[in-house]
Amino acid sequence: MSKQFSFSEDEMNGIVEDTYKNIIIECKNLISETKCPNEQIIALLSLVASTFTPTLSEE
């Protein structure tokens, strides 16, 4: 079992906040350029999240 991880306050106010803002901006750009529905963005973000989900063989 892995140890619980927390970002530091500096990271939360820096790189984490920047990353969040950039993801939101890029999702809005994708909607603007493709006119896709929010559900397509949700599906894309789910796919991205699954990239970082450990598989049973990695545990």
Domain count, the chain: 1
The answer to the question of residue 4 being in a domain is no
Contact 27, 45 (CB under 8 A): yes
Q: pTM for the whole thing?
A: 0.79
Rg (CA), the chain: 15
Residue 57 has pLDDT above 80, yes or no: no
C-alpha 23/C-alpha 30 separation (Å) is 10
What integer pLDDT is reported at residue 30 of this predicted model? 98
Q: Chain-wide mean pLDDT for the chain?
A: 92
The answer to the question of residue 46 being in a domain is yes
Report residue 32 as tokens.
Answer: 């603007």
With vertex at residue 8, the alpha carbon angle to CA 4 and CA 12, rounded to the nearest 5 degrees, is: 110
C-alpha 13/C-alpha 7 separation (Å) is 10
Structural domain containing residue 42: 25-50
